[in-house]
Structure 1
Amino acid sequence: MKNWTEIKHEFETDGSLRDIYIVGASESIWNVFINAVNNSYPCKFFVDGEEKSLPSSFSAIKGIQNTATTNLAIKIDGGILVNCHFFSDHQIELDLSPSDIANTNDFENLQKFMFWLHNLLKLKVVLTHENGPELEILTVE
């Protein structure tokens, strides 16, 4: 695993986000993710920008997306904000601002979250540059 000194340049603010990809999701994996994150981290679910209760299933969220946009804001340790937009049935994609990762402690909190996701879902978790699944910064598998 990389240390902060080796990786801090990857979090320089450049106007783009950083993405976390979890490939190989299914409806059951999504449901595990939704319920576990809701029970483990402070979360806010938004429908067209208005805070609502988080549905307990991926299919319910996809139903909402037929007529509205959704976003799940997850606050992980250290105040890092991670967003989930429920784009794909087969891939969980999260994003975060690189400015939230400013020091060793922030980086360790991000790593801890990625390890938690991997242990929860038993899938590879990859941190990349925005919209660049092939531009890996950090991988947990």
Structure 2
Amino acid sequence: MLNTSEHDWDIVLADLQCRYPLRLFIDGEIWTKVLTSLSAISIMHERNGVTAKIVVAGKTIKCHFFTKDQIEFDIDPREVHAENWPQFYDFLFYISHITHKSCRLTEENFPDHWSLDADAATGEMQIFQMDAP
């Protein structure tokens, strides 16, 4: 998700913990305290590597805290198939709904090469088959 703010991050962090089992890892070790704000995570991230993990459709999705301007969940598009599609569909629309922004499924490190765009505001999902960059 592009063009995000610290407020968007805080909404996602707080809401994800209610709907999905969210685990935070600091330098690879599970963190037992709840951190629901980007500012708290950023303080930790300055000194340590911080990663969040959730499980959707039996697949672990990682979230890195690279920048406040982009919320990124690492989902390999090749792992999305007919059997688990409904759970990923729900996840993308859920994130779009709570942030009021569209969510895109893209190739790793290629945000302009997207194959799916979910927008809860319009209720639309666009699917594109794109060649690898």
In the superposition, the TM-score normalised over structure 1's length comes to 0.78
Report the TM-score when normalising by structure 2: 0.83
Indicate which of 71, 88, 96 corresponds to 1:118.
96
Unaligned runs of 5+ in 2: 120-133
1:100, CA displacement in angstroms? Answer: 3.7
Shift of 1:132: 0.4
The list of structure 1 runs, each at least 4 consecutive aligned residues, that deviate by more than 6 angstroms after superposition, is: none
Preserved contact between residue 77 and residue 107 of structure 2 (Cα < 8 Å): no
Deviation of 1:97 after TM superposition, in Å, equals 3.5
SS of the equivalent of 2:54 reads strand
Q: Distance in 2 between matches of 1:54 and 1:72?
A: 11
Question: Where is the helix percentage greater, Structure 1 or Structure 2?
Answer: 1
Query: Structure 1: which 5+ runs fail to align?
Result: 1-21
Corresponding residue pairs, total: 118
**Greater RCO, 1 or 2 (C-alpha within 8 Å, sep 6+):** 1
- Inter-partner Cα distance in structure 2 for 1:112 and 1:39: 15
The answer to whether the 8 Å contact 1:82/1:94 transfers is: yes
Supply the RMSD in Å over aligned alpha carbons: 1.3
- Percent identical across equivalent pairs? 27
Could you tell me whether the CA contact under 8 Å between 1:81 and 1:100 is conserved in 2?
A: no
8 Å CA contact retained: 1:80, 1:106: no
**Aligned-pair distance for 1:83?**
0.8
